[in-house]
Amino acid sequence: MSLKYFGTDGVRGRVGVHPITADWILRLGRAAGIVLAGNDKRGVVIGKDTRVSGYMFESALEAGLAAAGANVLLLGPMPTPAVAYLTRTLYACAGIVISASHNPYEDNGIKFFSADGEKLPDAVEQAIEDELEQPFVTVGSEKMGKANRVDDAAGRYIEFCKGTMPFGTLLSGIRVALDCANGSTYKVAPAVLRELGAKVHVIGNTPDGMNINDGCGSTQPAALQQHVTRCGADLGIALDGDGDRVVFADSEGKLVDGDELLYIIARYRKAQGTLTGGVVGTVMTNFGLEMALADLDIPFVRTPVGDRHIHRALVERGWTLGGEASGHLLSLDRTSTGDGIVSALQVLEIMARSGKSLEELRSGMQKFPQIMINVPVSPSAREQFSDSKPINQALREVEAELNGKGRVILRPSGTEPLIRVTLEGSDSTQVERLANQLAATVRAELGS
Q: Which residues are catalytic?
A: 101
Give the residue among 169, 143, 174 at the shortest CA–CA distance from 40.
143
Query: CB within 8 A of 178, min separation 6: which ones?
Result: 189, 190, 193, 200, 201, 202, 203, 236, 237, 238, 239
* C-alpha span between 282 and 277 (Å, rounded): 17
Residue 307 Cα distances to 1, 79, 414, angstroms = 19, 16, 12
CA distance 158 to 170: 15
**298-303 own/partner pairs: CB under 8 Å, 24+ apart:** 298/266, 298/270
Q: What angle do CA 164, 249, 170 make, to 5 degrees?
A: 35
d(CA 260, CA 238): 15
DSSP assigned state of 447:
B
The crossing angle, in degrees rounded to 10, of helices 340-354 and 153-163 is 40
The C-alpha atoms of residue 97 and residue 173 are separated, in whole angstroms, by 35
Distances (CA, A) of 183 to 33, 105, 231, 443: 27, 10, 22, 33
Strands 72-77 and 44-48 turn out to be parallel
CA distances for 145 relative to 43, 70, 135, 391, angstroms:
9, 5, 19, 52
User: CA 414 to CA 304: how far, in whole Å?
Assistant: 11
Instruction: Give Cα separations from 192 to 115, 162, 181 (angstroms).
Output: 25, 6, 16
